[in-house]
Amino acid sequence: MTLLQRTIDGVRPLCAESMEAARRRQGQLAKPAGSLGRLEDLSVRLAGMRRTTHPSVERKVILTMAGDHGVVDEGVTLYPREVTVQQVVNFLRGGGGINVLARHGGARVVLVDVGVAQDFDPAEGLQIRKVGYGTASFRSGPAMSREQALRSVEAGIAAALEEAERGMDLLGVGEMGIGNSTPAAAIACAVTGEPVASVAGRGAGLTDDGLRRKVSVIEQGLSVNRPDPKDGLDVLAKVGGFEIGGIAGAILGAASLGIPVLVDGLISASGAIIAALLCPGAKDYMIASHRSAEAGQRCMLDFLGLEPLLDLGMRLGEGTGTALAMHVVEAAAKILNEMATFESAQVSGPFEADPSTRG
């Protein structure tokens, strides 16, 4: 049995008993029922994921998957692929946006080299799980083999399991890979059926001509490769990326351990789609961190049935949205765990619904 299949088999439905107990406790807390809105719903989901009425999310990890893309050679991005390597080095030095926001939120950042077109020396905060030195351009053929797709997903699973052994209550998934908004859009279109023009965005700032070229490349790639929208590995192999496979695997690995996963923006959402195709039950463990400024993310979140926690006009990637949303998730858990009940606080509860009982 493959690591992927063992992981899928380990993903369980949310614990109904823990969720019901959390709902009852929410009803006893010293506040009007429902007054904390989505925080209350989120706390109930956390209880179901963690299988306890008192879920802890103190040990926070962000896995930033890195990989390069052959489709960059088709002129779909403003930046050269060398920037992937340069940014990974920057992240390892602590100088990226993800590093700043993770430090602020008390999360540790771990870079995972799933497919960067250069080797790295071993370093603290780096997992080396390279499947290949970048994908092929999917414009005229598959981005990778099916075997490589499986390996990239299993690399993500292994990365999540390794960090869980070190201690992890909450996972955020992010990415670094120049040109990766192109495969992300291709995955979304292949699975949801949305037209490419409504999903593909400007990425890091494409001109009108550049955007038209990007749309054309994706349309050609989908026509040539014809990915099967019901087969996650086929979609990933035909038009995906190694780091997108890594994201999918990390989500599955965390879900198999009952650990909630915050999904970042456009590219992370494409990895979440692959994870959901491979294991529909994994969607129960996904939390959308924020609504990306990239319009294409909307159809992805609709497919996953997720409503983002934040809407800040962000589109950086890296896992930055997850770093910010971790504050919200931790707040939801702390409300459930730490807030006094009407009884313990000696605060009078609400009147009965029947006015005649008020005396």
Q: Where are the alpha helices (DSSP H) in the chain?
A: 3-9, 16-28, 38-50, 82-92, 97-105, 146-167, 181-192, 196-199, 208-225, 232-239, 242-256, 266-278, 297-304, 320-338, 342-345
Structural domain includes residue 354: no
Measure the CA–CA gap between 75 and 214, rounded to whole angstroms: 7
Residue 265, domain CATH:
3.40.50.10210
**Residue type present at position 272:** A
Residues 139 and 43 both lie in one domain: no
Residues 134 and 184 both lie in one domain: yes
- Tokens for 186, please give them: 């291709």
Whether residue 354 is predicted with pLDDT greater than 60 in this model: the reply is no
pLDDT tens-place string over residues 257-270: 999 999 999 999 99
End-to-end CA distance of the chain: 67
Structural domain includes residue 357: no
pLDDT tens-place string over residues 238-248: 999 999 999 99
Q: What is the DSSP string of 213-243?
A: HHHHHHHHHHHHH---TT-HHHHHHHH--HH
Residues 148 and 50 both lie in one domain: no
Structural domain includes residue 106: yes
Residue 40, domain CATH:
1.10.1610.10
**Residue type present at position 75:** G
pLDDT, residue 164, reads 98
Measure the CA–CA gap between 304 and 288, rounded to whole angstroms: 9
> DSSP code of 58?
-
pLDDT above 90: percentage of residues in the chain: 91
- CB of 158 closer than 8 Å to CB of 269: no
Among 56-70, 126-140, 169-183, 193-207, name the one with the lowest average pLDDT: 193-207
pLDDT, residue 353, reads 56
Residues 42 and 81 both lie in one domain: no
pLDDT, residue 201, reads 85
pLDDT tens-place string over residues 209-224: 888 999 999 999 999 9
Residues 315 and 212 both lie in one domain: yes
Measure the CA–CA gap between 12 and 226, rounded to whole angstroms: 32
Structural domain includes residue 273: yes
Report how many domains make up the chain: 2
Supply the angle between the helices 232-239 and 242-256 in degrees, to the nearest 10: 150
- CB of 245 closer than 8 Å to CB of 112: no
- Tokens for 80, please give them: 């050269």
pLDDT tens-place string over residues 143-186: 999 999 999 999 999 999 999 999 999 999 999 999 999 999 99
Residues 163 and 257 both lie in one domain: yes
Measure the CA–CA gap between 18 and 54, rounded to whole angstroms: 9
Structural domain includes residue 22: yes
Residues 72 and 51 both lie in one domain: no
Whether residue 350 is predicted with pLDDT greater than 90 in this model: the reply is no
Q: Which residue has the tokens 């039950």?
A: 281
* Average pLDDT along the chain: 95
pLDDT, residue 204, reads 74
Residues 7 and 83 both lie in one domain: no
The catalytic residue among 74, 194, 243, 318 is 318
- Tokens for 138, please give them: 């999917």
- Tokens for 38, please give them: 């989505």
Domain that holds residue 100: 60-327
Whether residue 346 is predicted with pLDDT greater than 70 in this model: the reply is yes
> DSSP code of 100?
H
Average pLDDT value for residue range 107-122: 98
Phi-psi region of 108 (alpha: psi -120 to 50; beta: other; left: phi over 0): beta
Q: How many CB atoms lie within 10 A of CB 93?
A: 11
Measure the CA–CA gap between 128 and 71, rounded to whole angstroms: 23
Residues 89 and 68 both lie in one domain: yes
- Tokens for 290, please give them: 């924020």
> pLDDT-based confidence at 359, cuts 50/70/90?
very low
> DSSP code of 133?
S
| Phi, psi of 350, rounded to the nearest 5 degrees | -70, 155
175 carries an active-site annotation: no
Structural domain includes residue 157: yes
pLDDT tens-place string over residues 37-91: 999 999 999 999 999 999 999 999 999 999 999 999 999 998 999 999 999 999 9
pLDDT above 70: percentage of residues in the chain: 98
Structural domain includes residue 359: no
Residues 200 and 223 both lie in one domain: yes
Supply the angle between the helices 232-239 and 266-278 in degrees, to the nearest 10: 140
Residues 139 and 49 both lie in one domain: no
Residues 99 and 172 both lie in one domain: yes
Structural domain includes residue 306: yes
